[in-house]
Structure 1
C-alpha cells in the first residue's frame, strides 16, 4: 500500500520521474521510517532494562550509557532500581554518577558513589560491576594524588578480573583499565620502564577487542614514558598516533590531552611559538569541557609557553589561574607544577626573592606529597591488618561472651603498634634521606681510591725499581739516573693528579708520555710510540678524569705488544669529533685480545675482566653527568686476512 501511494504521489508531481528515481525515493522514505522506529526514549530504555533486569554490565551499558551525562536520568535509574530491588542497575547507576562527579573534580562525592556501587556489586557477587567500581575508585584516588590508595584498588580489580569465571568483553576491558592505571601510578613514582610495560600490556588487549578509545589512551601514555626519559622523537610519534585515534572517535577531551602533551614536547625542544599556538586550542576546548583537571593543566602549560617567549604578564595570569584551580580542586601535582613555573618566571625577570619563595613552595609541595603518600600507604596497610584481626577476634569473643573487654584491649595494642611503627618508619625515612645525599660522594671517592691502588700497582713499582737496580749493577749510572728521574716524575704526577676529580687533557697526555717512557725502557725500547694531536684543539681547556687513559695503554703494552715479534707500534691520536666531543684513539699492532686470552689460559692465569677498565667506565659515567652528552667507549679487534692485527680503543669525551 505504501508503494502505491508513493508512485501515485510521484506521478502527480511529474510524469517524467524515472523508475530509478522512484526507487531511490522509496528507499529513502523506508530508511527514514526505520530510523524513526529505532529511536527510543529514556522511559522506553528504562522500562526495558528494569523488565529484563540484565546482569551483564555490557548489556546495561548498551541501553543506559548514552544518558551518562544526564544526572537526572541516572538518578531516576538509581531510584527505580532500588525500588524494584534491581541491584545490578543500582550498582551501575552509582558507578556512572561517580564518574560524572569525578570529571567535575568533586572527588569526595565521586568516592561515595563508587563505594556504594562497589558494596552492592560485592553483595550480589557480580565480578563485572565489582572490577568496574574498583577501577573507577582507583582513578579518583589517582586524580587526588593518593597513589597508594589507587594502587590497592587497581590491583584488587586486576586480581578479581584475571581470576573471574566470567570471560566477557567487560572483564577484558577491566583488565586493560587496571593495567593502564597501574602504569599511570608507576609514572607518578617515576618508574618509567615499569609504566611502559603495563601500558603495552593494556595496548595489546585494546588491539584484541578493537577499542579505539583504549588504543588512544595507551598510545598517549606510552608517549609520556618516552617524554619523561627525554626521548622526544619517540614521544611525538606515540602522541600523534593517539591523536589520530582521538580524531577518529571525535573526542574533544582526547584532543586536549594529546595536543597539550605534544606542546610540552615542543617546549622542551625549544619550539616555544609552535607550542603556544597548539596550547591555545587546548585551553579553549578544556573550558568548554568544564573539567577543572584539564582546565588547570591547559592554563599551566599556557603560562609556561608564554614565559619561555618572554610574555611575562600573560604567563603570570595563566599560571596564577592554573594554581588557583589546582588549589580549589586539591590537584597537588598541578599545584607543584605551577609553583615551579612561577619560580622560573620570576627568575627570568630577575626577581630572585619571589623566585626563591615559589621554589620553596614547590619543594615543600613535592616533599609533602611524597610524605603524605607514604603515610597514607602505611595507614592503609595497618587498617587492613586491623580489620582482619578484628573479624577473627569478634568471632572468638562471641563464643566466649567477652567481646567488649578483649576488643578494647586489642584496640589499645593496635593503637600502640601504629604509633610505634609510624615513629620508627619516620625515623628510618629521615636517616635514609640523609644517607642518600652522601652516597654519590662516597661512591666517587671509592672509585678514585680503587683506581689509585691499581695505578700504584706493587708489581709495576717493584719491576721499575728492579730495572734501576740492574742499571746500577751494570755500572750504567747514566741510564739508572735517567730511569729514576722518569720514575719519580711519574709517581709524583700520579699522586698529585689522584687528588683531583679531573685534569686537563694536556696534563693527561704528559702523564701518559712518562708512563710509556718507563714501560718502554722495561721493554728494551721496542715500542714505537707516536702521539698525533689536532692543532685546532685547546688541550688545556678540555677536561678529563685523571689517569683515564692509563689502563688502556697498559693493556696495549703488556697484553698486545709485549708478546709480539717484530715491529711494535703504539699510536695515540686526539682529534675533534664534533663541537660536542673530542675523540681519543689508542691503536696498537699487537697480537689482539683473542690470542692474549689464549696465552694467559695456557699460563693458567685467571681469565677475568680488567678491573682498571671497569673502574674507568664508572668514572667516565660519573664524569659525563655534568655534560649534556654522555661519553662513549669502543674497543675494536683489528684483523688482517682474518688474522689478529691489533686492537683499537676509541674514547669520545664530551666537552660541553
Structure 2
C-alpha cells in the first residue's frame, strides 16, 4: 500500500501501537523497502511509548530520527506530528525552552497548509494545548485557559473525546492553581467522564489523582485515600512514573493529614525515589515540599526547614531566569504575529504616511528607514527596561524588610506591564514601565533612609496608586489634599509609611466594591506639634472585608500595618510628642457601612 498520509497509516496500525516489538519490526521492513513514511511513523510511535515510561532521552532520540525521515520524505503531516511529540517529551522533562521551540515550529508548519487534513487540525490543537501549558508555567492562568478553551472548541468540532478529556484536565489544573477548587472539580469530573467513555485507563488514573488532590486541599483526606489507594498498582502498570510518583506523594500527604506518620513517610519517600530515578525535577520538588510539611506536622522543625531549602533549590533550577525570559520573548513574538488588527493598524499608518508625502518613492524609502529606526530603538528600550526591571526585582528581594513593599504588588505590576507587551500595546507598556521604574527608584532610595520629607512620600504614594490603578482598570479616583498652612518639604515622615494603609484600602475596601471607588488623602495641621494624615475610602467597610477574607480559599496574613506602627513608634522617639493611629468605620444615616477612615497623628516637634 505504501500510504503517504498519517490517517491511513494510523488506521492500519493503531491497534498495534502498544506492541513496540512489532513496531520495530515494521520500521526495519520499511527501511529495507525504502518506505520513509512507514519507518518514520513506527519510530515516532515507539518514541511516544518510551515517553510514557519516562524514558525521555530514548524517546527524544526516536522522535528526532522519525523527524529526519519525515523531512526526507517531504511529508508535512508526519513532520508536524514529530515536532509536537518532541515538544511534549521536553516539556515532561521540564526542558521548557526546548519544548517551546518544537511546539512553535509544529504550529507554524501546520498553519501553512491551505486545506488541512483531520490530522493537521489535531496537530494544531496539540500545539495550542502546549502553548497553554507554557502560559501555565508562567503562572498566567487566565491566558492559559483561553488557549485550552480554544483547543476545546476545535476538539468538539472534530469529535475527538480524547482531546476533550485532555483540555478539561488542563483547565482544571489552571483553576486549581488559581484557587478555584470547585471549578477545578467540575472540569476534572468532565475529563474523567470522557476518559470513561473512551475506556482510557491512563486518563482515568490522571483524573482520579487530580480529584484526590482537590479533596486534600479541601481537608478531606479520607475521600482522597479512597481514590488514591486503588491507583498504586494500576499506575505502575502504565509505566508513567511522572504520574505514579505524584500518586504516591499525594498518598503520603493524605496520611500526614490523618496523623499516620509511618505510612506518610513511606509513601512520600517512594514517590521521591521514583522522581530521582527517572530524573523528574518537578516531581522531586513536589516530594520535598510534602516531606517538609510532613516533618513540620511531626514537630521536627529542623528537618522541615532542611527539606524546605531543598525544595527551594529545585524550584530555582526549574524556574531559571533564562528559560522564563526566553519564553516571554517567544510569546510576545507569537501573539504579535497572530493579531491581525495590529497589522491593519500598521497598514493604515503606512497609508497616512503615503498620503502626506504624496506617494513619493524617495520619501517612502526615507519613511521606511525612519520606521525601522524607531522600531529598533523601541526594541532596544524594551530590552533595557526588561533587564533593569529584573535587576530591580532582585534588589527588592534583598531589601524587602526595609522597604515594606508587598512582593505581590511588584509581581502583579510586572505582570500587568507584561500583558501590555504581550498585547503589543507599546505606548501603555512604556508609559507604565516609566512609572514603575520611578517608583522602584524611590523605594530603593527611601529604603536606606530612616525618614524622608512628606513631599517625597506623597510623590511616591502617587506613583504607587497610579501603578495599582492599572489592575483596577483606572476605576479608582485618588486625590491628595494638603492644607495650605503646611509645607510638605519641611515635614519628616518614616519612609514608605503610607503604602500599607493605601494597600489595605485598595484590596480589602475597594476590591470587592461595585460602582464608584474613591480614596482621599488629606493632610491637615492638628496643632503646633502634630500633623494629621487621613486616608478615607468609600469601600465595603471592615466588617464586610473581614467576611470576604474568611471566605477566601487561600489566605495571606498581612503584617504591613503592624510593622508600620512599630516604625512610627521608633520614629516618634526622636520627638517630644507621640504618634497615634486610629481606624474609624464610616456609616450612613441608616447604619450602612460607607467606608473606612485611617487617621495618623504624626509628631513634628
Decide whether the 8 Å contact of 2:40 with 2:66 is kept in 1: yes
Larger deviation: 159-168 or 315-324? 159-168
Residue of structure 2 equivalent to 1:156: 105
Task: Tell me what 1:434 maps to.
Answer: 394
Tell me the equivalent position of 2:95: 146
Does 2:597 correspond to 1:649? no
Deviations along 1:609-646, one digit per CA (max 9) or x if unpaired, are xxxxxxxxxxx99879x9xxxxxxxx9999xxxxxxxx
Q: How does 1:434-453 map to 2 (within 5 A)?
A: 434-437=394-397, 441=403, 449-450=457-458
1:239–1:262: 8 Å Cα contact kept in structure 2?
Answer: yes
For 1:273 and 1:548, the matched residues in 2 are separated by 51
Which residue, out of 136, 141, 146, partners 1:197?
A: 146
Give the 3-state SS of the residue equivalent to 1:580 in structure 2: helix
d(CA) in 2 for partners of 1:84, 1:442: 71
Residue 286 of structure 2 is matched in structure 1 by 337
For residues 368 and 104 of structure 1, the distance between their equivalents in structure 2, rounded to whole angstroms, comes to: 24
Q: 1:182 aligns with which of 115, 118, 131?
A: 131
Q: Larger Rg: 1 or 2? A: 1
In the TM superposition, what is the alpha-carbon distance from 1:272 to its structure 2 partner?
Answer: 1.7
In the TM superposition, what whole-angstrom CA distance separates every residue of 1:289-331 from its partner, at most 9, and x where no partner exists?
2222221111111111111221111111111111111011111
Q: CA deviation at 1:165?
A: 3.6
Aligned to 2:536: 550
Q: CA deviation at 1:548?
A: 6.1
Cα distance change on mapping 1:117 and 1:516 into 2, 3 Å: closer
- Superposed, which structure 2 residues align to 1:177-326 within 5 Å? 177-326=126-275
Q: How does 1:16-415 map to 2 (within 5 A)?
A: 52-371=1-320, 374=323
Q: Under a length normalisation based on structure 1, what TM-score does the superposition of the two structures give? A: 0.57
CA distance in structure 2 between the partners assigned to 1:325 and 1:130 by the alignment: 33
Q: Which runs of 5+ in 2 are unaligned?
A: 331-383, 407-441, 447-453, 463-477, 505-521, 527-531, 550-557, 565-585, 599-605
Residues 395-427 of structure 1 deviation map (CA, whole Å, 9 limit, x = unaligned): xxxxxxxxxxxxxxxxxxxxxxxxxxxxx9xx9
Paired position in structure 2 for 1:460: 483
Matches within 5 A, 1:494-533: 499=497
Contact in 1 for aligned 2:538/2:596 (Cα 8 Å): no
Distance 2:22 2:117 in 1: 27
Tell me how far apart the structure 2 counterparts of residues 58 and 456 of structure 1 sit (CA, whole Å): 65
Task: Specify the SS of the correspondent of 2:594.
Answer: strand
SS of corresponding position for 2:139: coil
1:580 to 534, 540, 547: 547
Instruction: Determine the C-alpha separation between the residues in 2 that align with 1:96 and 1:574.
Output: 61
User: How many Å apart are 1:336 and its aligned residue?
Assistant: 0.5
Q: Give CA-to-partner distance per residue, 1:478-499, whole Å, 9 cap, x none.
A: xxxxxxxxxxxxx99x979995
Q: 1:64 to 1:438 in 2, by over 3 A?
A: same
Partners of 1:375 and 1:578 in 2: CA distance = 36
What CA distance in whole angstroms lies between the structure 1 residues aligned with 2:595 and 2:193? 44
SS at 2:205 equivalent: helix
**Distance (Å, rounded) in 2 between the aligned partners of 1:453 and 1:577:** 26
- Equivalent residue, structure 2, for 1:542: none
Deviations 1:420-478 (A, max 9, x none): xxxx9xx989845522426873757869922898999775243x99xxxxxxxxxxxxx
Separation (CA, whole Å) in 2 of partners of 1:458 and 1:335 = 55
- 3-state SS of paired residue (1:245): helix
Question: For 2:34 and 2:460, how far apart are their aligned partners in 1?
Answer: 80
Cα pair distance change 1:282/1:157, threshold 3 Å: same
Structure 1 gap ranges (5+):
1-51, 382-423, 466-490, 506-514, 520-545, 554-572, 583-619, 627-634, 639-646
Corresponding residue SS for 1:53:
coil
Corresponding pairs, count: 426
Evaluate the alpha carbon distance shift between residue 442 and residue 306 of structure 1 in structure 2; reply closer, same or farther with a 3 A threshold.
closer
Quote how far apart the aligned CAs of 1:149 are: 0.4
Alpha-carbon deviations, 1:238-277, whole Å to 9, x = none? Answer: 1111111011111111111111111111111211221122
Conservation of the 8 A alpha-carbon contact between 2:93 and 2:280: yes
Cα shift readout 1:165-194 (whole Å, capped 9, x = no counterpart) = 451000000001111112122222322122
Superposed CA deviations along residues 319-353 of structure 1, whole A, max 9, x for unmatched, are: 11111110111111000110111111111111122
Residue number in structure 2 paired with 1:49: none
SS of alignment partner, residue 163 of structure 1? coil
Does the aligned pair in 1 maintain the 2:289–2:307 contact within 8 Å? yes
